[in-house]
Amino acid sequence: MKIPIKYSLRNFKERKLTTGITIVGIAMVVFVFAAVLMMAYGIEKTLVQTGSDENVIILRKSSTGEISSILPPDVQNIVSSLPYIAKTSGNIPIISYEPVVIINLDKVGGGLSNIIVRGVSPESIILRPNVKLIEGRFFNFGARELIVGKSLVGSFQNSKIGEQIKFAGGYWKIVGVFEASGGGFESEFWGDSKQVLDAFNRGNTVSTMTLKLNSADEFPLFKKEFLRDRRLKEFEPKIEKVYFAEQSETMAMFIRILGIVVTVIFSIGATIGAMITMYSAVANRTVEIGTLRSLGFKRRNILAAFLMESLLVSLIGAGIGIVLASALQFFSISTLNYSSFAEISFKFAISPSIIFLSLIFAALMGILGGFLPAVRAARMNIIKALRSI
């Protein structure tokens, strides 16, 4: 790099308009790129946040999610008598027997959406200390009452305290609003496990069991016992956090792939823009290139100077795109969770690796866009370049 960077830097400041347009184009692409990655990361964070690494969730092996899991009563009995499960002072195993169902609710802005209703046992309060009421009261066991996750409040009709929503042939009263450290539970309704089973005529067949071990370290021992029991061979225990993290993977991957495909298509436009700008820069500076060459600068120095110019433009665009995208952190949106087919609400989340990837992506656009023009500059014949005044 013999030609100083300030040469590249000042040159692109000279052509404010074309450079400005190129920067805006690259900033837009980087914005979309970063936003998509932030969305995928936000979903991951939300779902990972949902689970605790202290809890164990039991599901049917073939199930793709809680909704499609089925645990019949005999299985529940076998599991509840396994060793290592923590007990309350009253010697009751700390287990929440949870039917997880999907209902349709009217959105405030119109349209229907799928929402999860989770029935929980009284022990779930011990299992999930991060679930906290922020308004109203807890539902009463034995009553058709619900508490609502804070992400749902205001997005669905009749989802405020004191109102009633209708499903499974009956009315359910909303009595409280809860939060769950930003996790996926905040996009659910919770009620009494028995009431939910009743309303949906499920008998005693729940979807999942979530339980607490004496100590989280005992999971391998617990799992060993679990697997040893042949009656449980169609079921499996998982650390709750691991389970929700896995649930987020499909969806996060889907968003990432879709997003990257879309932004790569956009980026072709931005790259061509950068290329046009750089071609005109090269054409306008033909004599300058001839002069530099006659002073003894080599073709590769010229190539590097023009590539650097294009790279700097793209990195400035990237900076702007990233700053704009990081403002999205203050927004939360909801989308369909492809593993449960229910709405899940989450916040965009940025990470150092997203910033790094965005910079790499922009640098690639700059280098690709700048490459052919830089090659043209480097290939110029000195005499012809000098004669082109």
Ligand X SMILES: Nc1ncnc2c1ncn2[C@@H]1O[C@H](COP(=O)(O)OP(=O)(O)OP(=O)(O)O)[C@@H](O)[C@H]1O
The residue ranges that bind other proteins (CB under 8 A) are 2-4, 6-7, 10-11, 13-14, 287-288, 290-298, 382-383, 386, 389
Closest C-alpha to 314, from 362, 263, 368, 264:
362
**In the complex, minimum distance from the CB of residue 379 to other proteins, in angstroms, rounded to a whole number:** 12
One symbol per residue from 93 to 112: x for binding ligand X (CB under 6 A), - otherwise; what is it?
--------------------
Provide long-range contacts, Cβ within 8 A and 24+ apart, for 121-124: 121/95, 121/96, 121/97, 121/193, 123/88, 123/92, 123/93, 123/94, 123/95, 123/96, 124/96, 124/98, 124/210
Give which of 177, 118, 147 is closest to 340, Cα–Cα.
118
- Could you say which of ligand X, other proteins, none residue 293 binds, taking C-beta under 5 to 8 angstroms by partner kind? other proteins
How far apart CA 143 and CA 199 sit, in angstroms, is 11
CA distance 265 to 275: 16
What are the backbone angles phi and psi of residue 116, rounded to the nearest 5°? Answer: -85, 135
In the list other proteins, ligand X, none, the entry touching 323 (Cβ below 5 to 8 angstroms by class) is none
Instruction: Please report how close the Cβ of residue 382 comes to ligand X at its closest, in angstroms.
Output: 10
CB closer to other proteins, 7 vs 356:
7
* Dist CA 47 CA 245 (whole Å): 6
The residue among 228 and 384 lying less far from ligand X, judged by its C-beta, is 384
Q: How many residues bind ligand X (CB under 6 A)?
A: 2
Nearer to ligand X by Cβ, of 300 and 384: the residue is 384
Cβ 388 to ligand X shortest distance, Å: 10
The binder of ligand X chosen from 275, 383, 386, 389 (CB under 6 A) = 383
Please state whether beta strands 100-106 and 112-120 pair in parallel, antiparallel, or not at all (unpaired): antiparallel
* 384 near ligand X, rule: CB under 6 A: yes
Q: How far is the CB of 259 from ligand X (least distance, A)?
A: 51
Q: How much is the CA Rg of the chain, to the nearest whole Å?
A: 29
**Binding pattern to ligand X, positions 330-369, x when CB under 6 A?**
----------------------------------------
The Cα-based distances of 352 to 33, 252, 259, 356, 366 in angstroms read 14, 17, 19, 6, 21
Which of other proteins, ligand X, none lies near 254, with the C-beta cut-off 5 to 8 A by kind? none
Give the pair of three-digit tokens for residue 17: 């308009």
Which residues lie near ligand X (CB under 6 A)? 383-384
